[in-house]
């Protein structure tokens, strides 16, 4: 009788430890998502700020300046539920303005343009990387949350279901080439 009771207690302890380890892993994944989202937000803000600064610098022609400024301003001011659309529109505006290498060269030749072009190239290169890190963390957390043991024992607690950040983040070819050099 006592050996059976000991085996039951050992089994319960092992199951408890396993569930505790799984809950800790899930908690670490959620913390990684929060950190990746903060990094993504910082990169998106940096890209919008650099684009807005470039739009107001007088380096671009007036029509391009207005388009870029409005897209960057909308991306910075967007509410959370509209953020993906606003950031995608900024990507599209950047591709429309900097689709040709000649436009980037014209910016580089202006006073202060070399620095502005370099900053913008770095910003548009970092956004897809930050988004990929965030979405990879979300994918890992979702995969773990789909397991039965996590659902049955409610190991996720009250944490919201993680959502990926889906946007058009393809950089303009001319700026992507510039970032690589």
pLDDT tens digit string along 152-164? 999 998 889 999 9
> Which tokens belong to 66?
């207005």
- Kindly list the distances between the CA atom of residue 81 and the CA atoms of 37, 120, 163, 172, in Å, as whole numbers in the listed order: 15, 25, 12, 25
Output the pTM of the full model: 0.90
Mean pLDDT (the chain) is 93
Residue 173 has pLDDT above 80, yes or no: yes
| Closest alpha carbon to 66 in 74, 127, 170 | 74
Tokens 């080439």 found at: 177
CB 132 within 8 A of CB 166: no
Say which DSSP state 163 is in.
-
Ranges of H-type helices in 146-171: 148-152
| CA atoms in the 13 A half-sphere facing the CB of 174 | 16
Contact, 40 vs 169, CB < 8 A? no
């Amino acid at each position: 009788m006592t050996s059976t009771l000991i085996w039951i207690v050992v089994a319960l302890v092992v199951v408890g430890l396993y569930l505790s380890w799984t809950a800790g892993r899930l908690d670490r994944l959620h913390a990684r998502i929060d950190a990746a989202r903060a990094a993504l937000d910082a990169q998106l803000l940096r890209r919008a700020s650099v684009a807005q600064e470039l739009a107001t610098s007088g380096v671009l022609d007036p029509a391009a300046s207005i388009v870029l400024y409005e897209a960057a301003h909308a991306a910075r001011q967007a509410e959370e539920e509209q953020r993906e659309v606003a950031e995608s529109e900024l990507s599209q505006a950047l591709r429309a303005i900097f689709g040709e290498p000649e436009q980037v060269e014209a910016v580089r030749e202006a006073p202060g343009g070399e620095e502005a072009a370099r900053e913008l190239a770095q910003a548009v290169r970092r956004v897809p990387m930050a988004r990929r890190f965030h979405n990879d963390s979300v994918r890992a957390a979702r995969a773990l949350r789909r397991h039965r043991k996590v659902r049955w024992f409610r190991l996720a607690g009250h944490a919201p279901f993680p959502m990926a950040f889906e946007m058009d983040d393809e950089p303009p070819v001319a700026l992507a080439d510039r970032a690589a050099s």
